[in-house]
A and B are shown apart, each in its own frame.
Chain A
Amino acid sequence: MAGLAAVFGSGAMTNSIEEIENADCILIIGSNTSVAHPLIATRVFRAKAKGAKVIVADPRRIPIILQSDLHLQQNLGTDVALINGLMHIILKKGWQDQTFIDERTENFEELKKVVEHYSPEKVSEITGISVEDLEKAAEYYAKAERATILYTMGITQHTTGVDNVKSLAHLAMLTGNLGKESTGINPLRGQNNVQGACDMGGLPNVYTGYQAVVDQAVKQKFEEAWGATLSDKIGLTATEMFPAVLNGKMKALVILGENPVVSDADCLHVEKALKALDFLLVIDIFKTPTAEMAHVVLPGAAFAEKEGTFSNTERRVQLLRKAAEPPGEAKPDWQIIQELSSRFGYPMDYASPRAIMEEIAKLTPSYGGITYDRLQGDGLQWPCPNTEHPGTKFLHQGRFTRGKGLFSAIEYKPAAEMADEEYPFQLTTGRVHVHYHTGTMTRNSPSLEREISECFLEMHPEDASELKVGEGDWVMIASRRGSVSSRVKLTDVAGRKTVFMPFHFLESRANILTNPTFDPVAKIPEFKVCAVKIEKMDRSDKSISSPP
């Protein structure tokens, strides 16, 4: 988000999902697409069937490599080096789109200077990818008529997350793969409505539609609409809140549909912060481990029990219709928020989600033309500034949101915590195909739980044999932050000394281990790389493994 906003002026998937199937080259980087976004993987499969070149860059041999023409198995956290290396080759061979660079971008010379230092040999050394494969990837991507990039958390969840995203944006600009069909740079959102949550100002620095809280004109507009005095100071991100609690700067917290006790990096630290709160209110559909710690829990309505809209990864706003009444005392979130606000002395009196949508359209330029009446069938993609506007399939046609696309110089920086003598393994985390996030929903499903019911640590067979560990044996995994136990799964999906753990399981919380050090701009923690040590354990020792 922050990375794309810096380069283009707006942070969202530039193109649409269906366009992927007409791309001539697809670069998938840091995305386990067929596992985490299966319906987007369908479009990749269709593009492949039509002859597209598919490049997958991932430290693990994930299932979608079976559909790829080339798998680049980079070392953890070396994405900037990899992308600089690709740009180096493209410039050396003269494969860049000079017209696009001249007409639509600025600061190209600065990029060129930095990229010059990333020779294929040097990049091969850093990333572990052969020079031959680097050259092949650069050729596939640069020579394609329409090349598109898909990425997810494997790119963003790093201390260099913003650098990674900017580098990808540079690669697309360098080759003119923006502002036209089946190209672009496409962050695939991990949740059905995370785009919508951001669009609605669920970030500490913006109101709806990314209108800055520091902008006085914006502030005045919202003050008039809401009849209230508003702050023009930027608030705290989620990752900044927990330290603020422990510093005594924050006393109370409302958590809505989140389970940070399982999902946040260094989650033991999060638990400590939650315990230190004077008051914790959790709104959720199940009693999650986070809700267990709350002073008050309010039951929310699930997706099928409420009305409203979801804005998906391709900026498409879709209408949600209620299929069943919420059980017991559960209420839709908007009603809970409205009642809370009224009791705090700011009465809210929206009659329905439709009434809220009318206000959104009035105050949000990019949602200006989106109304319930127009949201029949397939919905509308923002920007949609007025009620005659058909919505926007792809962004940046003819002009970037910020005017010209901005190149900058980005140097490779290693991950914050590299393996060393004491912690000789690099751990990366991710998802499995049957579970979603902290398992609040999926682990309540018998058919999904039947498929995978417990955590596992993926380990290279040669590393395992050195540790005298066999398939299914229990090991204790420890980082500088804590330790967890898990069974071992032998596999050569990743290289030597790189281990993987899914983060869905409360019993073996991968996020006890992960590094909370975050990207300086986006404040996103480095979930994807930390250093760990691993010891074989006696199965009967299991009880001692998870700290309380």
Chain B
Amino acid sequence: MVEPGLIKAAQAGDRDALITLLREIETHVYRTAYYILNNEQDAMDAAQEALIRIYTKIGSYEEKAQFKTWIQRIVTNICIDKFRRNKPTVSIDEHELVFREKQNVEEEVLSAYALQDIRSAIDKLPEHHRTVVVLRYLQDFSYNEIADSLDLPLNTVKSYLFRARQQLQTLLQDYQKGGVRG
């Protein structure tokens, strides 16, 4: 949580305050980029670009928005716009999900999923679904905060998050059963 006083000072042109502020948020910015892009180098690049943008645009931040959602909006936009990669993501089809879920009910395995599996499953989600999951779990954002960050309606945020979780579950079960990763 960044001190409001620090933000004000940075906006008033105190360069040291602005640099201090950037140091405080750099990890949060990086973390989001890392899980959206699933690649350390891309995440470093995107996070740096986001910090530069925050540096130059600090004057346009208005208090009516939360500072943390303003930051996350900047970094997620950069991740989505600039590093959009044309890689295949799975389609999210609700009917299929429900159907498969029922089939799998009895094959439940209670051990935790492997970290690598979770990461590669997240990486398979469509960008917006992935971004919502990252903000929910890595930034601990509420529905409203996610909606503010991504400029999406609240219901869309919920729908993305719920579908994303179902999709992740399906993918992870596939990994566990078949060992087919990717």
Query: Do A and B belong to a common assembly?
Result: no
Residues of A within 8 A of B (CB): none
Residues of B within 8 A of A (CB): none
